[in-house]
A and B are shown apart, each in its own frame.
Chain A
Amino acid sequence: MTTASTHAASAEVTPIDRQARGPLLLLLVLGVLWLVPSGIFALLASVQLHSPQFLTDCAWLTHGRLEALQETAFLYGWAANVGLAIALWVLARLGGYPLRALNWTVAGAIFWNLGLVGGLVGIATGDMTTFSFFQLPRYVQPLMVLAYAAMAISGVLAWSGRRTDSTFAAHWYAVAALFLFPWMFLATEVVLIWLPVRGTVQAIAAGWYAQGVWTLWLAPLALAGCYYIIPKVSGRVLSSYESAPLGFWCLLSVGAWTGGRHLIGGPVPAWIATMAVVTSALMLFHYLVVALNFRGVASAPGTGATFIRFGVSAYLLVGLLEVLTSFRAVALHTQFTFIATAQTQLGYYGAISMMFFGAVYYLVPRLAGRAWSSAGLVAGHRGLVMLGVVGSVAGLALAGFTQGAGLLQATVSQGSIFEGMRLPLLLNTCAQATLLVANLLLVVNLIRTIATCCTTVDAAAGLFRPAMNLEAPAL
């Protein structure tokens, strides 16, 4: 399927990467650094689950605030920075020209992260909004939208000024994420903060946003990276690619409608929950298309592909579990238990973050013009982070099963339910510690790689093998 091409040989080291080096490495480093506070918050919050006395005297670190801090640092620190870096880079590579308006990206990145620090201090002092995934205090929210828009400009320019008219799946997902996040965030801000709707509608709006963070923002960012990297490293066209547009529109049109899933069994009109059941089932189509398209990653070589394999498997598993737990008979056992937490962990860590890690491992040598500084740290991070994800999801799911079974029996006391959950929750704490250590390895490796790259650009000369031309298979 590949033919040698002499002019393409040097295409792997391009001026595109050199131009983008500073701004995109800034985003990547900031994103990866956010994993450290987020990991510490997650560890402390997890300890409180089995040892409720821990840190109760410190108002800043009580459980509710720790959960909010962890989730905010993780989503808006790690996922947002790294996801944007991946999207911008993919758009630049596919656009064929160096990124423009990078000053805006740098300014946006600085204000986004300053706003986030301010927001976290606000959450710690009790100014959060009480809506899950939307906890940033109201006074930093306008700043965050503006900063995001500033960062996204160069991506939009790269897309609208691309070299060829034709587009690729990675384009669609990246551009969708750039536009959809500000729309979602602003719309939610209006209906929940500025002109708050009342009663039940608030819960519905908050559920829509929480699901949109997954289906309209982070999943598209992660998929954009995968759609670009998988054919690049496997050297083969994506299988069943003709279905990719339908898979994309399926995610965009019904994705956020699945938000009612979080409200099944709650005080909302029946049709909200029923709609969520139906749209979760429709999303099976999206997951099927992703599975077919990404079949080639199973045999693809390299570190990035290893992470992406894990991430895609987790992504598909999350999709199946979403359908399963959306049915009311199953939701009766799983809703409002740790099983929901386990699903979130599997989705945001096992799927999104692993796909992001894969993209980071692919991207950094090209941006920095050097290989990762240590193979040992790469292997250590890979092993520990996978162990951590599996451990925490297993621990939370086991705790959830115990909890769900106990809560349905009127004769079982709360105390004995918590006794039964103690061991699995301890497992979760160990897994959170493992994740923290793993991510510290990544931080060290990334900093060392960047610190030694600034001297020469042509270090890249012997780094990359010449790339071939990909040809579509004949029918």
Chain B
Amino acid sequence: MSFLSPSDPRVDQAAVTDESVISAHEKLLGVQPDEKGHYRLAPLNVLFFLSGLIMFGGTYLGRYAGYFDPRVYNENVLHGGGSGEAPVAIDPIALGKKLFNNAACNACHQATGLGLPGAIPPLVNSDWVTGSDEKLIRILLHGLQGPIKVAGVDYNSAMPAFGRVAGSGFNWSDDKIAAVLTYIRQEWGNQASGVSVEKVTAIHAKEGDHKPWTVVELEKLP
């Protein structure tokens, strides 16, 4: 009988039978590495390699898995909440400026803080801004309605609530409220003190979901 050449690319010749493939490999699986006091290094080296990988994996998981806490998104967090990196301090002026210019503030009060003559009061040279922060914090948290006199001019428009209070479309945290207020009290030549987060939080807790303020109500405050 004539066969195709073994190098014919159209048919791959099988060198060995199926049964012998199974039985020959089955024998190999039963072999111990140290049979008859004769050590074979290859399988041992393979096992050492696996052990090394497992050791690396365990160490790496312990260090960078954030203790399997679903709330930890930074792999460098250490046990107890500390982090390998120093926490980044937030500059309230920078945050305030970003919020002022990217939320709704600049739409009415303008990036210059000058407002719109006859419609929106200015933030520059305004006692409401640079004066008592008690009133200012309440205005931003809960909003303001009704007539108001700023720098000798009468205005009558609505200021929306920005705080995390009922009816607010913005839901800003107390940090953001403090940052924006600090920004407007120190920008455009204003030179009042900054507003602390603690004070915002205290007023927020005291007033709760107060409805928008009126000037009459605010003037009773210090």
A residues engaging B (CB < 8 A)? 2, 5, 8, 11-12, 93-94, 96, 163-164, 166-169, 228-229, 231-235, 237-238, 240-246, 250, 267-271, 273-275, 277-279, 281-282, 284-285, 288-289, 292, 301-305, 328, 361-362, 365, 371-375, 378-379, 461-465, 467-472, 475
Q: In this complex, what residue of A is CB-closest to B56?
A: A281
B64: A residues at CB distance < 8 A: 270, 274, 277
Question: Closest 8 interchain pairs by CB?
Answer: A235-B15, A302-B12, A270-B66, A470-B16, A371-B10, A166-B26, A278-B57, A470-B20
The count of A-to-B residue pairs whose CB atoms sit within 8 angstroms is: 204
Please measure, in the bound complex, the distance between the C-alpha atom of A237 and the C-alpha atom of B64, giving whole angstroms.
42
A465 near B25: Cβ-Cβ < 8 Å: no
From B3, B17, B75, give the contact of A328 (CB < 8 A): B75
A250: B residues at CB distance < 8 A: 50
In the assembled complex, 7 residue pairs joining A and B whose CB atoms fall closer than 8 Å, in A order, are: A163-B19, A167-B22, A240-B43, A246-B46, A270-B66, A281-B56, A302-B12
Please measure, in the bound complex, the distance between the C-alpha atom of A232 and the C-alpha atom of B35, giving whole angstroms.
28
Contact A281:B57 (CB < 8 A) given known A271-B72, A464-B11, A464-B14: yes
B69 is an interface residue with CB less than 8 A from chain A: yes
A11 near B40: Cβ-Cβ < 8 Å: no
B23 is an interface residue with CB less than 8 A from chain A: yes
A467 near B17: Cβ-Cβ < 8 Å: yes
B residues engaging A (CB < 8 A)? 1-4, 6-29, 31, 33, 35-36, 38, 40, 42-43, 46, 49-50, 53-54, 56-57, 60-61, 64-75, 77
**A contact patch SS:** helix
A232 near B10: Cβ-Cβ < 8 Å: no
Please measure, in the bound complex, the distance between the C-alpha atom of A241 and the C-alpha atom of B42, giving whole angstroms.
11
A467 near B16: Cβ-Cβ < 8 Å: yes
Nearest Cβ distance between residue A107 and chain B, in whole angstroms?
A: 28
From A11, A237, A242, give the contact of B24 (CB < 8 A): A237
B46 near A292: Cβ-Cβ < 8 Å: yes
Please measure, in the bound complex, the distance between the C-alpha atom of A210 and the C-alpha atom of B202, giving whole angstroms.
50
B46 near A471: Cβ-Cβ < 8 Å: no
A461 near B16: Cβ-Cβ < 8 Å: no
Can you add 9 more A-B contacts, CB < 8 Å, to A274-B65, A281-B57? A93-B18, A96-B19, A235-B16, A240-B43, A273-B75, A274-B75, A279-B57, A305-B12, A463-B3
A277 near B16: Cβ-Cβ < 8 Å: no
A269 near B4: Cβ-Cβ < 8 Å: no
Q: In this complex, what residue of B is CB-closest to A243?
A: B46
Please measure, in the bound complex, the distance between the C-alpha atom of A329 and the C-alpha atom of B20, giving whole angstroms.
49
Nearest Cβ distance between residue A5 and chain B, in whole angstroms?
A: 7
B57 near A282: Cβ-Cβ < 8 Å: yes
From B9, B21, B49, B73, give the contact of A285 (CB < 8 A): B49
Q: In this complex, what residue of A is CB-closest to B28?
A: A241
B28 near A270: Cβ-Cβ < 8 Å: no
Q: In this complex, what residue of B is CB-closest to A228?
A: B21
Please measure, in the bound complex, the distance between the C-alpha atom of A375 and the C-alpha atom of B4, giving whole angstroms.
13
A471 near B75: Cβ-Cβ < 8 Å: no
Q: Name the residue in B7, B28, B71 with the highest tally of chain A Cβ atoms < 10 Å from its Cβ.
A: B28
A12 near B14: Cβ-Cβ < 8 Å: yes
A242 near B28: Cβ-Cβ < 8 Å: yes
B65: A residues at CB distance < 8 A: 270-271, 274-275
From B2, B10, B16, B73, give the contact of A365 (CB < 8 A): B10
B61 near A270: Cβ-Cβ < 8 Å: no
Please measure, in the bound complex, the distance between the C-alpha atom of A470 and the C-alpha atom of B25, giving whole angstroms.
9
Please measure, in the bound complex, the distance between the C-alpha atom of A11 and the C-alpha atom of B21, giving whole angstroms.
13
From A240, A268, A462, give the contact of B3 (CB < 8 A): A462
Contact A166:B72 (CB < 8 A) given known A243-B43, A278-B60, A472-B28: no
Contact A378:B9 (CB < 8 A) given known A233-B14, A241-B29: yes
B18: A residues at CB distance < 8 A: 11, 93-94, 96, 232
B72 near A269: Cβ-Cβ < 8 Å: yes
Nearest Cβ distance between residue B83 and chain A, in whole angstroms?
A: 11
A284: B residues at CB distance < 8 A: 53
Nearest Cβ distance between residue A364 and chain B, in whole angstroms?
A: 9
B73: A residues at CB distance < 8 A: 267-270
Nearest Cβ distance between residue A411 and chain B, in whole angstroms?
A: 21
A245: B residues at CB distance < 8 A: 29
Please measure, in the bound complex, the distance between the C-alpha atom of A270 and the C-alpha atom of B14, giving whole angstroms.
50
Q: Name the residue in B14, B24, B57, B73 with the highest tally of chain A Cβ atoms < 10 Å from its Cβ.
A: B14
B9: A residues at CB distance < 8 A: 302-303, 372, 375, 378-379
Nearest Cβ distance between residue A449 and chain B, in whole angstroms?
A: 9
